[in-house]
Amino acid sequence: MWDHKDVRKSMYEISSRSLRGGLAMFEKILLISSDLSANAVLPMQSIKALRKLGAGEVLLLQCQPVFDIDETTIAYLGNQFEKALYNQKNALQEAGFAVEAKVVFGLTRAEATRIACEENCSLIAAGAVRQSWLGGLLYGNVAYEIIFSKSLPVLVIRLPDEEEKTLPGHQLLDHVLFPTDFSENAAAAFAYLKEMAGWCGKITLFHTQDKARFSPDKLSNLDEFNEKDHARLTALRTELIAADTHNIDITLTIGSPIEEILHFVKDQSVSLVIMGCQGRGLLKDVLLGSVSQNIARNSLASVMLIPPAEQ
């Protein structure tokens, strides 16, 4: 929906110098692991795609949950975690990463962010199923806790749940979806997309006219809103083309932003969603913030959430 307030002309013209090291913007990754199952290898397959973006180092953080259980069970779980950590570290090293591994107990969002900042990481990544009891117990809680980070980009790597068993066989950067509400945080996310664009197989620029925000009198002006917002999406497409990226689509819909994005991800085999973690206006967390958190939890694709640019 078109915001009648003036939009700063340079909103999307964020210099790539604001990103860490250009194509090395994800030079060092904090990878959080808490899975004991065969699923543990799946995040590695997606993390490998970040090698194309300059990623060379991984701080592998094995997160052990804190349970009130007997010592025998604790010893068993500890042994299982050690095996999982060993396998994951080897897989990363075989992929060409320099790897440092650490074990933490009961990791929180604040602790993960603190460690990432102290270790000069530029991305926090964790795997998660969409919403299952097992995922919530062992894996989902960690990933969904860190999506509220406002300091660093967060990559939620989608894992198959018990019903799905497997996910579509695409690679992380095959089809990238960029939902935008034209906010400043969306502009920050677009700056990352521009840096990554050359490695993306296909990019879709996406905006939903939020039907809930339309009063009856505004509905009569829907064509005008669509025309103006399509022009803004076209301007973004022009920027990507200038960056030597050409397989770019534009999609403009009306409805619930969350539902429209989730349907598009499923129907169009999206592999990665890149979006800001805050929206525009006074109710930032109620608008795009709420949308991004729902997408991260429920999307079939992996989701990268970009925090607002430093002021």
Model confidence at 136: pLDDT above 50: no
Q: Which of 141-150, 171-180, 186-195, 271-280 has the lowest mean pLDDT?
A: 141-150
The residues near 5 (Cβ < 8 Å, ≥ 6 apart) are none
Percent of the chain with pLDDT over 70: 74
Asked if 175 and 143 touch (Cβ cutoff 8 Å), the reply is: no
Q: At what angle do helices 222-242 and 184-196 cross, to 10 degrees?
A: 40
* Number of residues assigned to the chain: 311
Strand ranges of the sheet holding 98-105, from the earlier edge strand across to the other edge? 98-105, 57-64, 28-33, 123-128, 154-158, 302-306, 272-276, 175-179, 202-210, 248-255
Model confidence at 10: pLDDT above 90: no
Model confidence at 139: pLDDT above 60: no
CA 122, distance to chain mean position in Å, is 13
Most confidently modeled range among 1-5, 15-19, 192-196 = 192-196
Q: At what angle do helices 288-298 and 257-267 cross, to 10 degrees?
A: 30
Asked if 43 and 157 touch (Cβ cutoff 8 Å), the reply is: yes
pLDDT at site 127: 83
Most confidently modeled range among 39-48, 69-78, 127-136, 189-198 = 189-198
pLDDT at site 22: 46
Contacts 24+ apart (CB under 8 A), 84-91: 84/33, 84/35, 84/36, 84/40, 85/33, 85/60, 87/40, 87/41, 88/33, 88/40, 88/41, 88/44, 88/60, 89/60, 91/41, 91/44
Model confidence at 44: pLDDT above 60: yes
Distance (Å, rounded) from C-alpha 276 to C-alpha 305? 5
Q: Measuring CA to CA, which residue among 248, 259, 263, 257 is closest to residue 276? A: 257
Where is pLDDT greater, at 91 or 41?
Answer: 91
CA 98, distance to chain mean position in Å, is 23
Distance (Å, rounded) from C-alpha 198 to C-alpha 243? 7
Q: Domains along the chain?
A: 27-152 (3.40.50.620), 170-306 (3.40.50.620)
Q: Which of 190-199, 215-224, 244-253 has the lowest mean pLDDT?
A: 215-224
Report the pLDDT averaged over residues 264-282: 84
Model confidence at 175: pLDDT above 60: yes
Whole-model pTM?
0.83
Most confidently modeled range among 55-69, 72-86, 129-143, 237-251 = 237-251
pLDDT at site 171: 86
Query: What tokens were used for 229?
Result: 């917002």
Query: What tokens were used for 187?
Result: 């502009």
DSSP state of 119: T
Q: At what angle do helices 42-49 and 71-94 cross, to 10 degrees?
A: 30
Neighbours of 32 (CB within 10 A): 27
Report the pLDDT averaged over residues 202-209: 97
Q: With bands split at pLDDT 50, 70 and 90, how would you rate the model's confidence at 146?
A: confident
Report the pLDDT averaged over residues 116-125: 93
> Which stretches of the chain are assigned E, i.e. beta strand?
28-33, 57-64, 98-105, 123-128, 154-158, 175-179, 202-210, 248-255, 272-276, 302-306
Q: Is residue 4 exposed (0-12), middle (13-18) or buried (19+ Cβ within 10 Å)? A: exposed
**Averaged pLDDT score across all residues of the chain:** 79
Q: With bands split at pLDDT 50, 70 and 90, how would you rate the model's confidence at 121?
A: very high
